[in-house]
A and B are shown apart, each in its own frame.
Chain A
Amino acid sequence: MREITYCDALNEALRECMTEDENVVLLGEDIGSYGGIFQVTKGLQDEFGAERIVDVPIAEAGFVGAAVGAALTGMRPVVEIMFIDFTTVCMDMIINQAAKMRYMFGGKGSVPMVLRTNIGAGRGTAAQHSQSFHSIFAHIPGLVVVAPSGPYEAKGLLAEAIKNDNPVIFVEHKRLYMTKGEVPEESYRIPFGKAEIKRAGEDITIVATHALVGASLEAAEIAAKDGISVEVIDPRTLAPLDKDTILTSVKKTGRLIVADEGHKTCGFASEITAIAAEEAIEYLKAPVIRNASPDVPVPFSPPLEKAFMFGKDEILESIKKVIAYA
């Protein structure tokens, strides 16, 4: 199968959905002729015109709120927020408006919009352009939160997000944009709330998100040489969460590592750990380990940022720790 980048896979999903449904429109900063800060919308304005691919001023509350109003009245808008850090200036529109409308209107009306954004440190962009606070959105009832881990997931999950009738926070990952993988040329959708077992194993379960799925698979490969069998699960959507797949695996292996780039405290890794503690503690043979980011802002200085980040090596250490328990 052909291989394309995560970025191009997203672009392809947008193009397909826009071709299929004229109610799909894109709003975002620099998404027009510039093609978006990470080039995800490259070429789309030429193809679909400036009425449907709209460059907006720096007014996140204004244009995200506009997407809410447009979605409520029959459109399927997709907005791009350049970095997840910038969602803080439009949080009312996301949390109080988009997420709440259907519920507080008693099931009347729906908000079929997608908010695309990204997380991830490692580009030397310091504390306001590198955060990974995707778990905040999973805390809010009424939002779907998507975490594509590779090009295949990026295309299929974005197509599903655009066709879905709920407000979707689609959280991409900066370091993945240029990674390549096999992506079918035809349209396909990956359903929400269905985790994927990326690698089957017997001794340890790793639940990983975004770029840490790849890191976990690498770690699992190395561990296999030592005879340790690791199962790697990609939840794909943080909300709704496929608890069954995770719990079935944990009950089988008895050991759990969670790898997520959010801060450790109150993060997604904490949530998975809590679920295991509540619903599968009698199966656990070892303490659960959270591989998560330290509870500090993302530092600028290269050695500090490097120390802030983690990947395959740290996950391998965790594997060694949990396997030490008989």
Chain B
Amino acid sequence: MRLTKEKLSSFYQTMQTIRLFEERIVDLYARGQVPGLAHLYIGEEAVATGVCGALNKADYITSTHRGHGHVIAKGAALNPMMAELFGKVTGYCKGKGGSMHIADMDEGILGANGIAGGGLPIAIGAGWSAKWRKTTQVTACFFGDDASSNGTFHESLNLASLHKLPVLFICENNGYGISVSQAKCTPIKDIASRAVAYDMPGVVVDGNNVVEVYKAAEKAVKRARAGEGPTVIECKTYRWRGHHEGDPNQGGRYRTKEEIQEWKEKCPILQFEKALLKEKKATKTQLDEITRATEEAIDEAVLFAKESDYPSIEEMYKDVLV
């Protein structure tokens, strides 16, 4: 790991923030305090962290229904995030979007998205916009393995490659589209192989290895900023929880306990922690302090959310049009 200690430490902090945030949602959801749907990112933290670690504040991301990790990694603040999940007026979207629609234009977060595959065309639009406006901004577009079977994936890759748009297509391959495994959705083994059809690089990385993800993203960012076009990065990973909170037995109807356990042993955070300690890039005390401070920030976010007001009924009629 040739990265600076600060960079590595920021990776640890981001991954731990995502993990602890999501674990808190598990608890709050079970208590009925968070309404609606919660699609959790536990197990996939290295993907968002590695990719967003290679981006600048001015760069853009488009996200998915499983978006908490992406937006945290891109710079979303915990208080308005938690408040949004509670449906409170202090939330990112004044409580009108919820878990699947967190957006922050100031941080380049163009929105989580409730439609699988919906973010891909929007991402290439942001990329095209940067090209038209002659900025060096890049856009990282997160999507799942099964979204790559949607027409929007193919249309977007084709357009992005044709016009050499500064876009990173980040396929988070967690093996399942809700309950159906990748093998039942597509005959191909690697989603990245689809990049060949659009004449762009397609790489496969260990999505549980944050440094590996970061390096692939950094290379793709360089290529994009140089005007050489987009890249597909497929990150092989796994979601530990069910498709959403409430999925019976955390997806036990369509996958085995052994399979889940196998992936838990490849925990991206634990692996990274071990590597950091082994290579003396951090001490256990430093890492524990990050964890403690993160717990505290999440406690504060929950308190903030609980103490915030719900939007007034009049708010329902606002923001339909400019």
Contact = CB atoms under 8 A, between A and B. Distances in A.
Interface string B191-234: 00000000000000000000000000000000000000000000
Contact of A72 (B110, B132, B163, B320): B110
A106 B159 contact: no
Given A62-B155, A105-B93, A105-B101, A72 B322 contact: no
Interface in B104-139: 104-105, 110-111, 113-115, 118, 120-130, 132-133, 139
B159 A62 contact: yes
Given A57-B158, A62-B158, A63-B159, A70 B125 contact: yes
B125 A66 contact: yes
Given A62-B159, A69-B62, A73-B125, A106 B92 contact: yes
B96 interface: yes
Interface residues on A, range: 35 or more
B97 interface: yes
Contacts of A77: 125
A97 B111 CA distance: 10
A256 interface: no
B151 interface: yes
Contact of B97 (A63, A68, A106): A106
A59 B96 contact: no
Nearest to A107: B319
B124 A69 contact: yes
Given A56-B159, A96-B115, A105-B111, A62 B96 contact: no
Interface string B156-168: 1011001100000
A197 interface: no
A308 to B, nearest CB: 32
B298 to A, nearest CB: 22
Interface in B74-115: 91-97, 101, 103-105, 110-111, 113-115
A51 B132 CA distance: 8
A105 B80 CA distance: 12
Contacts of B152: 61-62, 65, 92
A189 B59 CA distance: 35
Given A66-B125, A73-B60, A106-B91, 8 more contacts: A57-B155, A57-B162, A59-B158, A62-B121, A68-B122, A104-B97, A108-B93, A109-B103
A-B pairs, top 9 by smallest CB distance, nearest first, are A65-B121, A69-B125, A62-B155, A106-B93, A106-B94, A66-B125, A69-B122, A59-B155, A107-B319
A192 to B, nearest CB: 9
Contacts of B125: 65-73, 77
B188 interface: no
Given A104-B93, A106-B91, A144-B321, A70 B128 contact: yes
A57 B92 contact: no
B318 interface: yes
Contacts of B123: 69
Given A65-B120, A65-B156, A73 B115 contact: no
Nearest to A111: B322
Interface in A42-72: 51-52, 54, 56-57, 59, 61-72
A198 interface: no
Contacts of B130: 73
B110 A97 contact: no
Given A102-B319, A106-B93, A75 B132 contact: yes
B101 A104 contact: yes
A73 B110 contact: yes
Q: Residue among A73, A93, A112 with the most chain B CB within 10 A?
A: A73
